[in-house]
Amino acid sequence: MAAKKKTTQLRELFTRTKIFVLPGCSNCFEARLAQTIGFEAVYMSGGRTSMGLVGLPDAGFATMTEIVLNARYMANAVDVPLLSDADTGYGNPLNVYRSVKEYIRSGVAGIHIEDQVMPKRCGYTAGKQIVELDEAVSRYRAANDARNELDPDFVIAGRTDAVGAVGGSLDEAIRRSHAYRKAGADITYIEGLRSMEDIVYCLERTEKPTMINLYGISTNDLPSHQEMQRMGISCAFYPEMVGLRIVYPVMWEFLNDFKTRGTTALKEWESWWNDFPKKYSAAPHFFEIAGIAMVKQLEEKYLSPKELEKYLVTTGLPFEKK
* Domain containing residue 81: CATH number: 3.20.20.60
Could you list the residue range(s) of the whole structural domain that residue 67 is in? 10-215+224-242
Per DSSP, the residues of 207-269 read PSSBEEE-TTS-GGG---HHHHHHHT-SEEEETTTTTHHHHHHHHHHHHHHHHHHTHHHHHHH
> Is the residue at 259 inside a domain?
no
> Is the residue at 254 inside a domain?
no
Cα 292 to the center of its chain, rounded Å: 24
> Is the residue at 127 inside a domain?
yes
Where would I find the H helices in 262-291? 263-279, 286-290
- Exposed, middle or buried: residue 2 (CB in 10 Å: 0-12, 13-18, 19+)? exposed
Which H helix or E strand runs over 293? helix 292-302
* Distance spanning both ends of the chain, measured CA to CA: 28
Are residues 30 and 146 located together in one domain of the fold?
Answer: yes
pLDDT of residue 276: 66
Q: Which amino acid is at 80?
A: V
Which H helix or E strand runs over 6? helix 6-15
pLDDT of residue 119: 86
> Is the residue at 257 inside a domain?
no
Are residues 16 and 124 located together in one domain of the fold?
Answer: yes
Q: Which of 25, 122, 202, 235 is catalytic?
A: 122
Are residues 233 and 293 located together in one domain of the fold?
Answer: no
Are residues 233 and 311 located together in one domain of the fold?
Answer: no
> Is the residue at 279 inside a domain?
no
pLDDT of residue 321: 47
pLDDT along the chain (322 residues), means of 10: 91 97 93 94 92 85 94 97 96 96 98 93 83 97 98 98 92 97 97 92 96 86 93 92 73 89 89 68 72 84 88 74 44
161 within 8 A of 130, measured Cβ to Cβ: yes
Instruction: Give the number of domains in the chain.
Output: 2
Are residues 294 and 169 located together in one domain of the fold?
Answer: no
Distance CA 249, CA 231 (A): 32
> Is the residue at 146 inside a domain?
yes
Longest dimension (CA), the chain: 71
> Is the residue at 4 inside a domain?
no
Are residues 102 and 202 located together in one domain of the fold?
Answer: yes
pLDDT of residue 179: 98
Distances in Å between the Cα of 150 and the Cα atoms of 2, 88, 103 are 19, 20, 11
Residue 122 among the catalytic residues: yes
Which H helix or E strand runs over 96? helix 93-106
